[in-house]
């Protein structure tokens, strides 16, 4: 197993931060390299307080999806 793992924060095209992890010589971005905040809005349709009583958030990353969740959180029981 390769233990050479590095993490990096970089500025995306829209000015927000984006994170990447490099294992060996392979780099993988955890968010959009261009518009990470805009990318998080794609998940807003998954928040459905009318059909779901609870919402469980696993993993926070850099928290961009939490900005969208904040709009719906008061509607959950």
Q: pLDDT tens string for the chain (77 positions)?
A: 557 899 999 999 999 999 999 999 999 998 888 998 888 888 777 788 888 888 888 777 788 888 888 888 888 88
- DSSP character for 4? -
Beta bridge partners of 26: 23
Beta bridge partners of 8: 20
pLDDT score, position 15: 93
CA-wise closest residue to 46 among 17, 18, 72, 15? 72
pLDDT score, position 45: 77
For the question of whether the overall pTM of this predicted structure is more than 0.75, the answer is no
């Amino acid at each position: 197993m390769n233990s050479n793992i590095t993490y990096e924060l970089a500025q995306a095209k829209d000015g927000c931060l984006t994170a990447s992890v490099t294992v060996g010589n392979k780099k993988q971005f955890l968010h959009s390299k261009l518009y990470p905040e805009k990318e998080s809005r794609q998940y807003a349709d998954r928040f459905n307080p009318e059909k779901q009583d609870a919402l469980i958030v696993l993993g926070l990353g850099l928290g961009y999806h939490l900005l969208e969740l904040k709009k719906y959180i008061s509607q959950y029981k």
